[in-house]
Amino acid sequence: MRRSKSLFVTFEGIEGSGKSYQSKKLYRKLKKLGYPVLYTREPGGCKSAETIRNIILTGKKNKFNILTDTLLYLASRNEHINEFLSPALKKNKIIICDRFIDSTEAYQSYGRGINKSLINFLHKFIIRDIKPNITFLLKLNVTKAFKRMNKRKIKNRYDQFSKKFYQKVQNGFINISKRKKRKFVVLDTSIDTKETENIIFKNIMKLVNNVK
């Protein structure tokens, strides 16, 4: 199916919220239907950004100063936008991205205390006019999220943070969704997985059908 305009879809939420699962389900469904869809993630999404991702997510919890940590995320995003996102959007692709700018604010500002003004200032140079058409924020009880995280065979550096930290991050995501002047769909992923999947798909098809 041909489209005359790009569509940028992001999924946000704390670890264990199901965002990776739901974003991949949406990608596979749209691809099966013949849409020009691409899947990506942050940090990462291109070779150079994936190199930075590996540095960020491996090792001990506090291996970096919090400002260094934030700058690494932003460096990865800069590579991702220049090498992948911007070219794909110019080709009118549907892009599904597991995490984007809201994760940086939620984790680094609400969670770790980095000044929001600094993040916003640097984003002006990095993201330019790129912004999601729709963001799905998946939330659930932090204790339940931790149970899901503990079942993972492969854990990253951020799986080592406390429940208190993740509660602050989730509260940050909710505040962001209320404040940002763009479309957010907030879903409680403690409900049936299939129902969550259906709600996401219906929202996407509304946007797809409005773009001719």
Mind listing the pLDDT tens digit for each residue in 27-47? 999 999 999 999 999 999 999
Quick check: 98 and 192 in contact, CB under 8 A?
Answer: no
**Rounded alpha-carbon distances, angstroms, from residue 203 to 5, 64, 184:** 17, 39, 10
pLDDT at 98 over 70: yes
106: which 2 tokens?
Answer: 């939620």
Kindly report which listed range (30-44, 74-88, 91-105, 156-170) carries the lowest average pLDDT score.
156-170
Domains located in the chain, CATH noted: 7-210 (3.40.50.300)
DSSP SS3 for 209: helix
Region for residue 43 given its phi and psi (left: phi exceeds 0; alpha: psi -120 to 50; beta: otherwise): beta
Quote the mean pLDDT of the chain. Answer: 92
Q: What is the pLDDT of residues 189-205, one digit of tens each?
A: 887 788 999 999 999 99
* Largest Cα span, the chain: 49
Does residue 165 register a pLDDT over 80? yes
| pLDDT greater than 80 at residue 212 | no
DSSP 31-78: HHTT--EEEEESS-SSHHHHHHHHHHHSS-TTSS-HHHHHHHHHHHHH
pLDDT on residue 2: 45
| Closest C-alpha to 96, from 6, 158, 15, 17 | 6
99 φ, ψ (degrees, to nearest 5): 85, 145
User: Is the pLDDT at 144 greater than 90, yes or no?
Assistant: no
Provide the CA 154 distance to its chain's centre, in angstroms.
19
Q: Are 18 and 146 in contact (CB under 8 A)?
A: no
Model pTM above 0.75: yes
Task: Report whether pLDDT(126) > 50.
Answer: yes
11 three-class SS: strand
